[in-house]
Amino acid sequence: MNTLVSKPWVLARIFEPDVTIVDCRFILGQPTAGRDAYEESHIPGAIYLDLEADLSDPAAEHGGRHPLPDVERLAALLGKLGMNNDTRIIAYDDQGGSNASRLWWLLTYIGHENVYVMDEGFSAWTGAKYPVSKDQAIRVPSTYTAKVKTEWVVGVETIRDVISGADDSSNVVLIDSREPRRYAGLEEPIDKKTGHIPSALNKFWKGVHDEHGRWKSAAKLQEHFADMPKDRELIVYCGSGVTACPNILALREAGYDNVKLYAGSWSDWISYSENPVATGKE
């Protein structure tokens, strides 16, 4: 799929007129840290999109900690920032690709075809002595039209059907992207309940990286997901629908086509008191 691109690939394209680079740096619990870092230094020409303010809707009783943004609001924002349906969009962060993958997922979900995630992140960019800037580019507004791929996302009712054995749930695999200790119910630093959705298998999202923190090759990703069947539907979740996205990107790089996001994820699941939870290993 060639969604993952290298620093040199990005460097060669930063001034091409149909390219928009998006800085997605964000630190959970430090809501201004990403924008502060962007304003201090970023890839030349890059704009900033905030995980919570731009790439999520406000949290409510249900829907998880990072609900998907309203599609029309997102499309209007992209247009205001000078992007249209033909723009080549390159996302980066400094969090292992988790936030950049969220943007990749959202853009693909609304029908965008030319979206890429830069490998490694901003620290590696500066470590390689590549150019940086404090300037914020003037953007000429454009028009963006969303064409939503509804099949890319599922809600809580679908997950309930899966674990109850309803419909064709035997052809579905749930994948939990959180740290193994959170999955097993041994600790939970963020959400109100410990454990995981019954029947879910654990694939910690950072497993898509090699020992140097770079994304694994397609061949290595195929090895990483070798225990995941390609003839079944895969539904991926995490704590709030963000770190599930690098797993989804990696699965698609490895040749899996039927991969969906449970957008509300664990924080949505436990907002319903009647939903069962499991602990330990499946």
pLDDT digits (tens, 9 = 90+) for 141-190: 999 999 999 999 999 999 999 998 765 667 999 999 999 999 999 999 99
- The Cβ of residue 31 has, within 10 Å, a number of other Cβ atoms equal to 14
Q: Which string of DSSP letters, residue by residue, matches 92-143?
A: E-SSTTHHHHHHHHHHHHTT---EEEESS-HHHHHHTT---B----------
The percentage of residues in the chain with a pLDDT greater than 90, rounded to a whole number, is 95
> For residues 45 and 116, is the Cβ–Cβ distance under 8 A?
no
Confidence of residue 137 (pLDDT cuts 50, 70, 90): confident
pLDDT for 43? 98
What pLDDT, in 10s, does the model give residues 216-263?
999 999 999 999 999 999 999 999 999 999 999 999 999 999 999 999
pTM of the entire predicted model? 0.96
Residue ranges and CATH numbers for the domains of the chain are 4-127 (3.40.250.10), 150-269 (3.40.250.10)
pLDDT for 198? 97
What pLDDT, in 10s, does the model give residues 53-81?
999 999 999 999 999 999 999 999 999 99
Q: Tell me the average pLDDT of the chain.
A: 96
> For residues 10 and 118, is the Cβ–Cβ distance under 8 A?
yes
pLDDT for 166? 64
* Catalytic site positions: 238
pLDDT for 42? 98
pLDDT for 260? 98
**pLDDT at residue 101 above 60?**
yes
